[in-house]
Structure 1
Amino acid sequence: MNKVRVGMVGYKFMGKAHSNAYRVLPMFFPQSVAPEMKVICGRDPVALEKARVQFGWEEAVTDWRELLQRDDIDLIDINAPSDAHKEIAVAAAKAGKHLFCEKPLALTLADAREMLEEAEAAGVKHMVGFNYRFAPAVQLAKKLIEEGRIGQIYHFRGQFLQDWIMDPQFPLVWRLQKEIAGSGSLGDLGAHVIDMARYLVGEFQEVIGMSDTFIKERPIAEGMTGLSATGGANSTEMGPVTVDDATLIMARFENGALGSIEATRFAGGHRCTNGFEINGSKGSIRFDFERMNELEVYFTDDAADVQGFRRVLATDSAHAYMDAWWPAGHTIGYEHTFTHEVVELMQAFEEDRQPSPNFVDGVRCQEVLEAVERSIEERRWVAISEV
């Protein structure tokens, strides 16, 4: 196989991000297996055709089931809203199609487990879209931890802070409706931090959480794309917000490390503060996606007169993926994390293995999300083994 023929369901925010990754990958990462952008799928034929031309897809269809019947489609890319993930993924697996699904994997843990079971039963490849793993600075953090250079891990503190819905007149977009999104800041933002913690520190043992919804109802949206919407002040009809606006989590990991996670859409001035700090017996590392090319590193064995956090610019060929891009010091951006994600997916095809992260990671993340939700509801610590 030298081509992976893709059928993609979704054409808005994540659809654009995935399309860009497929388009640029062969230019910067020429390898024996490459994606072929065959068919894009969405419900609005006019908007879909515009996206097809703009993004560079060969064809467009309005029913995702057509993709499963075609012999010229190998991979189904699912970046539609969360409530569509399970139905599409299960049907695609049964049809023998490989799977690439955005996070969170499903609305519930039970659905996520079913998706994994079906994918494994079908013997197809499956990947979940935790793109932030693929920033070179995060890859450096992983390397330092695996090499034992910060020692035994004591603390993980992570945060994903945004402010895009602070205006009470911001419309009721699908991300604020539980039946479509599953949860609010917890599943949308917290899922990324939970996955990052699992990736870098290890499995969660138990969690306790608290959450709140600050704005209880909003104007009905007239239209929405990505994180923007129309309606707002011009709408007289209101609808209930059925997800959390902010969630706080405390956690203990299986290796004994302690964790804290904050996910909120009400942190004024924070556009995309997705970061973490990890403290170990030999040093510390910290990262903020708003400065995604940098990792701050501290080692306890540095000489006393130069101790402190140092800034490492992860842009030269010593760092993951960077030998394919620009000269040292020439930074990359958000879209490159998706390109690197697709590099991993295509390499998995080439090497005939499961990509990472895959549906197993999606289920593990969903276990933590469900444990947090149960903790909030029952106001107690919940072990991951309980869910």
Structure 2
Amino acid sequence: MIGNGFMGAAHSQGWRTAPRFFDLPLAPEMTLLVGRDAGRAADAAERWGWSESSDDWRAAVQRDDIDLVDIVTPGDLHAQIAIAALEAGKHVLCEKPLANTTAEAEAMARAAEEAAVTGVRAMVGFTYRRVPAVALARELVAAGRLGVIRQLSVSYLQDWLVDPLSPFTWRLDKQLAGSGALGDIGAHAIDLAQFVTGRSITSVSGTLETLVAERPLSGDGRGLSSSGSGGDAGTAAVTVDDRAVFSARFDDGVLGAFEATRMSTGRKNALRFEISGSEGALSFDLEDLNSLRFYDATLDPAVQGFSKIIVTEPEHPYIDAWWPAGHGLGYEHGFSHQVRDLVIALASGENPSPDFGDGLRVQRVLEAVERSSAERSAWTEIDEKEMAL
């Protein structure tokens, strides 16, 4: 695993736990953790259960005893590491968004396609697909329980940047992060909309805004690039968006409404979607992740209404490996489910899902939203030629 921040802790939890609850066809060995600071990497490796640590990712991807490379670094390193690992014959798991630019994502997708010829696989970490309630929502849509889908809305609301004195981090530097709320959490909203409905976004119209233009540096200035310095030595300019709002047209003509922000007061991790169809509707909120609300419009009007499905039954996706019915799962379980699905795909010689092609499609939507905002265009198309690798 390359990277030892917050997401490194989450991925480590998944690698440690999945083999203990799921009957996997291969046994993951947590061999090496790589971080930019050797001391911090060593501390993280010991805490999270990795056998060794290093500060040299280039040497790591060339090691004969490494079969898979898990990338949890800031986005500016994704393409460089992933392509090097694939060329070295290593399977790759890469955090979302796939890259900082569409050009990088295209290069990664091409490298993944070339590597797949030799049996080397690549997967992008849209982990919220593995929340059991989200997976159940996809099953209900695919089964036709909503009828003809007519509209949907998706939002991802957080508030960890509400305070203008919250310190500057790498996530606020465009060179390191690629974009702000749009890529960091909006990528999840885009992926879930396409995953649950089984449809693809073909055009967008969006607006981005930066609500706090400058933030104070923390003690060591971690994450600050040379281009991110503000006029005051104690502050740094925010070069990404704080809020993204956009409409999206899907390939079947359905219109969707999207919002992503890290400055929504009181919302800690509210990834929400509501999908309405001719025969029913679904509603989900990650802050209540063990439940899915379903409206069955085919019932007698006297008993219609949104019902709350507690997604903890063994018949529900992933649940049979865990606890008795009614005992809820948490945020961290999605990473164990991700490891399960990836390992099963590798053992069977199949391409894991979502693959780098899926990551590229999301990247193109992100870029189109940015372009729409910059050009103040009514709609920005993502045509079929552009969608091809």
Aligned residue in 2 for 1:5: none
DSSP-derived class of the 2:211 partner: coil
Q: Which one of the candidate residues 2, 18, 23 is aligned to 1:9?
A: 2
Aligned residue in 1 for 2:330: 333
Q: Which one of the candidate residues 272, 277, 283 is aligned to 2:274?
A: 277
Q: Which one of the candidate residues 163, 166, 179 is aligned to 2:162?
A: 166
Aligned residue in 2 for 1:230: none
Are 1:81 and 2:79 an aligned pair?
no
- The structure-2 alpha-carbon separation of the partners of 1:346 and 1:223, relative to structure 1 and needing over 3 Å to count, comes to farther
Give runs of aligned pairs for residues 96-175 of structure 1, distance below 5 A.
96-123=89-116, 124-175=120-171
Partners of 2:37 and 2:55 within 8 A in 1: yes
Give the letter aligned to residue 339 of structure 1.
S
User: In structure 2, what is the Cα distance between the partners aligned to 1:171 and 1:63?
Assistant: 28
Deviations 1:129-150 (A, max 9, x none): 1000101101110000000111
User: In structure 1, what is the Cα distance between the partners aligned to 2:310 and 2:222?
Assistant: 33
Partners of 1:219 and 1:236 within 8 A in 2: no
DSSP-derived class of the 2:150 partner: strand
User: In structure 2, what is the Cα distance between the partners aligned to 1:224 and 1:360?
Assistant: 35
Partners of 1:100 and 1:129 within 8 A in 2: yes
Report the alpha carbon displacement of residue 343 of structure 1 after superposing the two structures with TM.
0.6
Are 1:57 and 2:50 an aligned pair?
yes
Report the alpha carbon displacement of residue 225 of structure 1 after superposing the two structures with TM.
9.3
Give runs of aligned pairs for residues 21-40 of structure 1, distance below 5 A.
21-40=14-33
Aligned residue in 2 for 1:217: 214
Are 1:46 and 2:44 an aligned pair?
no
Alignment TM-score, normalising by the size of structure 2: 0.93
Q: Which one of the candidate residues 346, 354, 372 is aligned to 1:375?
A: 372
Give the letter aligned to residue 159 of structure 2.
D
Aligned identity (percent) is: 48
Structure 2: runs of 5+ lacking an equivalent:
224-231
* Higher fraction of strand: 1
Give the letter aligned to residue 75 of structure 2.
S
DSSP-derived class of the 2:20 partner: helix
User: In structure 2, what is the Cα distance between the partners aligned to 1:205 and 1:236?
Assistant: 44
Q: Which one of the candidate residues 173, 183, 202 is aligned to 2:179?
A: 183
Deviations 1:315-335 (A, max 9, x none): 011101100000000000000
Are 1:71 and 2:64 an aligned pair?
yes
Deviations 1:165-218 (A, max 9, x none): 111111110000000000000000100000001112210111000111011111
- The structure-2 alpha-carbon separation of the partners of 1:284 and 1:326, relative to structure 1 and needing over 3 Å to count, comes to same
Q: Which one of the candidate residues 343, 347, 351 is aligned to 1:346?
A: 343
User: In structure 2, what is the Cα distance between the partners aligned to 1:26 and 1:18?
Assistant: 13
Give runs of aligned pairs for residues 222-301 of structure 1, distance below 5 A.
222=219, 237-301=234-298
- The structure-2 alpha-carbon separation of the partners of 1:258 and 1:43, relative to structure 1 and needing over 3 Å to count, comes to same
User: In structure 2, what is the Cα distance between the partners aligned to 1:39 and 1:58?
Assistant: 6
Give the letter aligned to residue 94 of structure 1.
E
Deviations 1:329-355 (A, max 9, x none): 000000001110111100101211011
User: In structure 2, what is the Cα distance between the partners aligned to 1:236 and 1:87?
Assistant: 31
Report the alpha carbon displacement of residue 94 of structure 1 after superposing the two structures with TM.
1.1
DSSP-derived class of the 1:36 partner: coil
Deviations 1:278-301 (A, max 9, x none): 001110001000000100000111
User: In structure 1, what is the Cα distance between the partners aligned to 2:208 and 2:162?
Assistant: 16
User: In structure 2, what is the Cα distance between the partners aligned to 1:204 and 1:225?
Assistant: 36
Q: Which of structure 1's runs of 4+ aligned residues deviate more than 3 A? A: 223-226
Report the alpha carbon displacement of residue 98 of structure 1 after superposing the two structures with TM.
0.7
Give the letter aligned to residue 181 of structure 2.
S
Cα RMSD over matched residues? 1.4
User: In structure 1, what is the Cα distance between the partners aligned to 2:242 and 2:35?
Assistant: 28
Give the letter aligned to residue 284 of structure 2.
F
Report the alpha carbon displacement of residue 224 of structure 1 after superposing the two structures with TM.
8.3
Partners of 1:112 and 1:366 within 8 A in 2: yes
Report the alpha carbon displacement of residue 122 of structure 1 after superposing the two structures with TM.
2.0
Partners of 2:186 and 2:260 within 8 A in 1: yes
DSSP-derived class of the 1:168 partner: coil
Structure 1: runs of 5+ lacking an equivalent:
1-7, 227-234
Deviations 1:98-151 (A, max 9, x none): 110000111100100100101211222000010001011011100000001111
User: In structure 1, what is the Cα distance between the partners aligned to 2:171 and 2:382?
Assistant: 26
DSSP-derived class of the 2:93 partner: strand
Aligned residue in 2 for 1:307: 304
